Chains A and B, each alone.
Chain A
Amino acid sequence: MFYREAGDFKISYVADNQTFPIAFDRYRYYAILVVGFLVLPFWVDDYLVNAILAPFFIYAIAAIGLNILTGYCGQVSLGTGGFMAVGAYSCYKLMTGFPDVSIVLHIILAGGITAVVGTVFGLPSLRIKGFYLAVATLAAQFFLVWLFNRVSWFYNYSASGQINAPERTVFNVPVTGPNVEPWAMYLICLFFAFFSAVIARNLTRGTLGRTWMAIRDMDIAAEIIGVNPLRAKLTAFAISSFFVGISGALFFAVYLGAAEAGDSFGIQKSFIVLFMIIIGGLGSIFGSFAGAALLVVLPVFLKLIGVDLFGWPTDLVAHIQLVIVGLLIILFLVLEPHGLAQLWRIAKEKLRLWPFPH
């Protein structure tokens, strides 16, 4: 009923290739954009941005990055935290080294540097697959965190070993440092999340995306068709790391303000982003957002219910959260390996016929 395709004829391949081929979907997407960019900035408060929206957008970017590598190209990675650290530290070095250049450019450049580092750590993927590759990327995780803790050049020889984001502005509005307004933090995160999603979608629906998926589904057949496996895997690593790097840079510079490699970008980060794409849906941009939303909102929701409503102790609620996340992952892996995105797809298929299913 809501998802009418009938009468919505596509008369060109361009129209048939668009992201939201169903008119209702398209209008809803525009509506969300209008609300996100034009309404919410006037309405958000400090709590909403710091607890939910900013981490949601930042994790969503990281999840998009990991989804390109794992969901689209089939290369498992446990190095996400380490690559986020690369983004954060390169953003820090750029911010302190070139204070006059725009922070937006710094964040993008930090993504570019992470892409190069990610490509280097992607080289083993040419020889090893699956579980073994995961272990190899785990090594990247530990190595990178160790590197940023040990080499003091990375944190400008500060006594605490921490990196602190100096104040930087966009259009004279501070977006990093202690004086950030919630709406400014919200907007810069939304800006990056939006463009990351659009770019990721464009890359995955085109030639490059098909190359990655071919490698994921059957690498031998892909090679016989003319896919250069080396190029396909390395581009996936590069582009994935680019997004992860941007997410790390935002996480440090905009959200945290101060960071330390081991605490902020440890192995837990790698796992939480991996959980996001498993629960959200492998091989789906929407799934990256859904997974990030769930894992960001869940602790907040549990705290509201458990601590504020029932008065349970905080540590108990934290443990309950771990149990729930673990349970969700098992349930999704067993019942719906394609995650929330697949549930959403099924719901849409049902909605097309609802309320007359025959």
Chain B
Amino acid sequence: MINQPQPRTSTDDRVIGDVIMQMKDITLRFGGVVAISSISFDIREGEIRAIIGPNGAGKSSMLNVISGFYRPQEGEIWFRGRKRPAMKPYQVARQGIARTFQNIALFEGMSVLDNVMTGRLNHMNPNVFLQAIWKGKAEREEVENRERAERIIDFLEIQHIRKTPVSRLPYGLKKRVELARALVSEPSLLLLDEPMAGMNVEEKEDMSRFILDVNDEFGTTIALIEHDMGVVMDLSDRVVVMDYGKKIGDGIPDEVRSNQDVIDAYLGVSHD
């Protein structure tokens, strides 16, 4: 059977573990433009780590570096104590890193259930011939993974739409389906790219609750990018602040909030 993190019983025993991912001096250039310049930070197991910064600070580029879309020119990525070689995005996914997108990237032609089931791909090992006759391992695997998928569907409260084509869903639900698709792969690191972009207050509250629950019940490590400062400060354990591709702050929310550089970056500073 597949190893599933057991839900924890109490909310108080959240353990922040060792460093699971470490970025060392990452530099990413597009031609002459330096998107990220020599940034280092780490993500600890079980924490919610936020990356914030004004527009164009390089937050999304950072996430794309982690998930293998961009290959940084300099720097090293260490994952689970090992230096990660250059990888294709699907290989990164197989290491247990899942993500959602700023602009929803669901499979519009498929139902919610199929979308979520696609997230189980890394746990399935299809055999073409058994699939063709739909017997034995193929059928068993389908049912086992369906059970996992249904557990996440229950968890995120999208049971009522499981057979609905994704293209018919409203924005807020799509975001939730995308979270389900990422979550169902039982990632050891979950990357959320602006999970609350474009949502109203209620939807934001729902989403915050789900993020906390995910972290709490499954112990999933989460790294997220978000613009809403209130949300970030409430949710996250530690915050990295970026501006113009540089790291200008790193620490617990209270530290970051009182950091002069961060205040300058967000509120602007007079140049006289």
- Chain A residues with CB under 8 Å of chain B are 12-14, 17, 199, 202-203, 206-208, 210-211, 213-214, 216-218, 220-229, 235, 239, 283
A224 touches B99 (CB 8 A): yes
A210 touches B131 (CB 8 A): no
Interface flag for B185 (CB, 8 Å): yes
B146 touches A220 (CB 8 A): no
Chain B contacts for A12, CB-based, 8 A:
143
B105 touches A220 (CB 8 A): yes
Interface flag for B67 (CB, 8 Å): yes
B90 touches A228 (CB 8 A): yes
Q: Contacts A221-B106, A225-B118: A207 and B124 contacting too (C-beta < 8 A)?
A: yes
Chain A contacts for B134, CB-based, 8 A:
202, 206
Complex CA distance for A220 and B92, rounded to whole angstroms: 13
Chain B contacts for A235, CB-based, 8 A:
128
Q: Which 8 A-B pairs rank lowest in CB-CB distance, beginning with the nearest?
A: A226-B93, A221-B105, A217-B107, A207-B126, A202-B134, A226-B122, A199-B132, A13-B146
Q: Contacts A207-B124, A217-B109: A17 and B146 contacting too (C-beta < 8 A)?
A: yes
Instruction: Pull 8 A–B residue pairs with CB atoms less than 8 Å apart, ordered by A.
Output: A12-B143, A202-B132, A202-B138, A207-B124, A208-B131, A221-B101, A225-B181, A226-B94
B126 touches A225 (CB 8 A): no
B121 touches A226 (CB 8 A): yes
Nearest chain B CB to A241 CB, angstrom units: 14
How many B residues have CB within 8 A of the partner chain? 40
Complex CA distance for A221 and B103, rounded to whole angstroms: 11
Given A13-B142, A208-B128, 9 other A-B residues pairs in contact with their CB atoms under 8 A = A202-B132, A203-B132, A206-B142, A216-B109, A218-B106, A224-B69, A224-B99, A226-B121, A228-B88
Q: Choose among B69, B92, B124, B141 the residue with the greatest number of A CB atoms under 10 Å from its CB.
A: B124
A227 touches B90 (CB 8 A): yes
Interface flag for B255 (CB, 8 Å): no
Interface flag for B228 (CB, 8 Å): no
B147 touches A203 (CB 8 A): no
Contact among B98, B121, B142, B181 with A17 in the assembled complex (CB-CB below 8 Å): B142
A206 touches B126 (CB 8 A): yes
Nearest chain B CB to A33 CB, angstrom units: 17
Contact among B98, B114, B126 with A213 in the assembled complex (CB-CB below 8 Å): B114
Chain A contacts for B118, CB-based, 8 A:
210-211, 213-214, 222, 225, 227
Number of residue pairs across A and B with beta carbons under 8 Å?
Answer: 105
Chain A contacts for B67, CB-based, 8 A:
224
Q: Contacts A203-B132, A206-B131, A208-B128: A225 and B121 contacting too (C-beta < 8 A)?
A: yes
Q: Contacts A203-B132, A208-B126, A210-B117: A224 and B142 contacting too (C-beta < 8 A)?
A: no
Nearest chain B CB to A119 CB, angstrom units: 13
Q: Give chain B interface residues in 95-146, CB to chain A under 8 Å.
A: 98-99, 101, 105-110, 114, 117-119, 121-122, 124, 126, 128, 131-134, 138-139, 141-143, 146
Residue in B closest to A338 when the chains form the complex, CB atoms: B109
B167-194 interface mask toward A, CB cutoff 8 Å, 1 = contact, 0 = none? 0000000000000010001000000000
Complex CA distance for A14 and B138, rounded to whole angstroms: 11
Complex CA distance for A13 and B142, rounded to whole angstroms: 9
Contact among A202, A218, A223 with B89 in the assembled complex (CB-CB below 8 Å): A223
A199 touches B124 (CB 8 A): no
Chain B contacts for A208, CB-based, 8 A:
126, 128, 131
Chain A contacts for B88, CB-based, 8 A:
223, 228
A211 touches B121 (CB 8 A): yes
A13 touches B147 (CB 8 A): yes
A218 touches B133 (CB 8 A): no
Nearest chain B CB to A222 CB, angstrom units: 8
Residue in A closest to B139 when the chains form the complex, CB atoms: A14
Q: Contacts A225-B119, A226-B90: A217 and B142 contacting too (C-beta < 8 A)?
A: no
Chain A contacts for B143, CB-based, 8 A:
12-14, 17
Q: Choose among A14, A221, A223 the residue with the greatest number of B CB atoms under 10 Å from its CB.
A: A221
B131-166 interface mask toward A, CB cutoff 8 Å, 1 = contact, 0 = none? 111100011011100110010000000000000000
Complex CA distance for A214 and B119, rounded to whole angstroms: 10
Contact among B92, B109, B119 with A283 in the assembled complex (CB-CB below 8 Å): B109
Residue in B closest to A220 when the chains form the complex, CB atoms: B105
Complex CA distance for A214 and B89, rounded to whole angstroms: 15
B147 touches A223 (CB 8 A): no
Contact among B106, B128, B141, B185 with A203 in the assembled complex (CB-CB below 8 Å): B128
Complex CA distance for A206 and B146, rounded to whole angstroms: 11
Q: Choose among B88, B118, B122, B126 the residue with the greatest number of A CB atoms under 10 Å from its CB.
A: B118
Nearest chain B CB to A99 CB, angstrom units: 28
B121 touches A227 (CB 8 A): yes
B147 touches A225 (CB 8 A): no
Contact among A203, A210, A220, A229 with B110 in the assembled complex (CB-CB below 8 Å): A210
Complex CA distance for A228 and B89, rounded to whole angstroms: 9
Chain A contacts for B185, CB-based, 8 A:
225-226
Complex CA distance for A214 and B99, rounded to whole angstroms: 15
A213 touches B110 (CB 8 A): yes
Nearest chain B CB to A215 CB, angstrom units: 9
B7-32 interface mask toward A, CB cutoff 8 Å, 1 = contact, 0 = none? 00000000000000000000000000
